[in-house]
Amino acid sequence: MPIAIAPKGEELLIRRVGADDKIKKHLRELGIFEGSKITLLSSDGGNVIVIVKEGRLCLDKALAGKILVA
């Protein structure tokens, strides 16, 4: 399921990042890659706020739709 509709507050495993190589590389540098853990804090208004490792990130709706979690 896309991260935007995942349950809030639960640690989730990233299964797939469906983006081009340049975006995948940037996300990997931020700690978002297949097999890593992520927690959804908020998905109000289209933007998504997540916790990755010890930091918080805000992702736009289009990018968040490309991150699939389980």
DSSP letter (8 states) at residue 4? G
Q: Domains in the chain, please, with CATH?
A: 3-69 (2.30.30.90)
The dihedrals phi and psi of 39, each to the nearest 5 degrees, come to -125, 130
pLDDT of the chain along its 70 residues, tens only? 999 899 999 999 999 999 999 999 999 999 999 999 999 999 987 899 999 999 999 999 999 999 999 9
Contacting residues for 64 by C-beta, under 8 A, at least 6 apart: 2, 3, 4, 43, 47, 48
Closest CA to 67 of 39, 10, 45: 39
Separation CA 10–CA 3 (nearest Å): 11
